[in-house]
Amino acid sequence: MQVRLRHFFPAIYGLLVYTCIRLVNDTGFGIRFWLRPWHITVLEVGMSILTSYITIFIVRKLAARFNRRTTSKLTAMQVLKEFAVITLVSLLLNNLLLIPFEMVTDNGLQLIDVVLSNVIPTLFILLYYAILRGNGYLNNYIQQQLQTEKIKNDQLATELKFLKAQYHPHFLFNALNTVYFQMDEDVQAAKQTIEGFSSLLRYQLYNQQQTVPIAEELQYLKHFIQLQQLRMNKALISFNTDPELQGHLYPLLLLPLIENACKYADGQHPISINATHKEGWLQFTVENRVPHVGIAIKKGGIGLENLKRRLSLLYNNQHQFQVRHTTDCFKVQLSIPLFPKPATHA
């Protein structure tokens, strides 16, 4: 439909221009064009349509050229220059095609014929060009915005993968440290620990940008805690979850909080972990006791800093993250919305 309209539009445009010229001319002089010889009217209509096809073809080519050359915001001077070019093209074609034809019709060429044959087609072609150019500029702007957004999303996706990959070395370090001490006491237990860590790493590798059920994430954390308990008193870690927790979230956002607590609790101080549900949000709290001396709590290690960046990218700041540190207690609280169904991050 659009292709047909594109081909027939110049003919419709030519009829519109010719009708306007005849109305202005005939009204002023009291002429009734339907009383003229029909072949003259047919010739005038044909020449008007032919001129319209040539004019619109050239104007479309110019508009396409100007669109390609426009890489930034249009300026008033640029618009005036383009309109001046279109005006000159219209005047040139009108005087080459329409004016000579007017000399052999009716009572010959008169001043009013010259004025009407130049002014009316030029005004129409300027209006058409303004619409055509504006539409082209808008399409270019939209394409640039889409391209910019795509580049931005690609950069964010790359950054997310990089941030997520930085968890693995820290995670592996803890695993090797645990296995190292088990090798001297129980080789079989060390093998089981390696199998457990392999399962956890598999979860990290196969869950990237898509969300996972909250139940899977909590189960993953329970397995991690079980492995941590191999090198510390089991009673020191309490993990409480709300049975009403449902929905999906992005994976591995909770792990750095537990890793951080296990690191600074040093296997000798209690850790309290709570996951509750509140109006569609996950409230995740990790609190651990720390010694008064001997261990300094940094304001932000690689784990927590990466977590903050991932939260900003994935949830677009639709989250709450609080860190409280006193002389003998370190507490972090994370609140994030739960998705009702699986979602992916661009």
Distance CA 68, CA 137 (A): 9
Instruction: Write out the two tokens for 28.
Output: 């002023």
Distance CA 182, CA 155 (A): 42
**According to the model, what pLDDT value does residue 174 have?**
65
Cβ neighbours for 313, distance < 8 A, ≥ 6 positions apart:
156, 159, 160, 345
**Mean predicted confidence (pLDDT) in 328-341:** 89
Q: How confident is the model at residue 240 (pLDDT cuts 50, 70, 90)?
A: very high
Distance CA 228, CA 293 (A): 23
Q: How many CB atoms lie within 10 A of CB 336?
A: 20
Q: Is the pLDDT of residue 296 over 50?
A: no
Report the CATH number of the 166-337 domain: 3.30.565.10
pTM above 0.75, yes or no: no
Domain ranges for the chain: 2-160, 166-337
DSSP state of 345: -
CB-CB contact of 164 with 310 (8 Å): yes
Instruction: Write out 53-97 in H/E/C secondary structure.
Output: HHHHHHHHHHHHHHHHHCCCCCCHHHHHHHHHHHHHHHHHHHHHH
Q: How many whole angstroms from its chain centre is CA 320?
A: 24
Q: How many CB atoms lie within 10 A of CB 205?
A: 11
Q: Which residues pair with 212 in a beta bridge?
A: 249
Instruction: Identify the helix (H) or strand (E) that includes residue 17.
Output: helix 2-29
Give tens-digit pLDDT for 196-218: 777 777 777 665 568 889 999 99
Q: Is the pLDDT of residue 337 over 90?
A: yes
Percent of the chain with pLDDT over 90: 19
Give tens-digit pLDDT for 216-238: 999 889 888 887 777 666 778 89
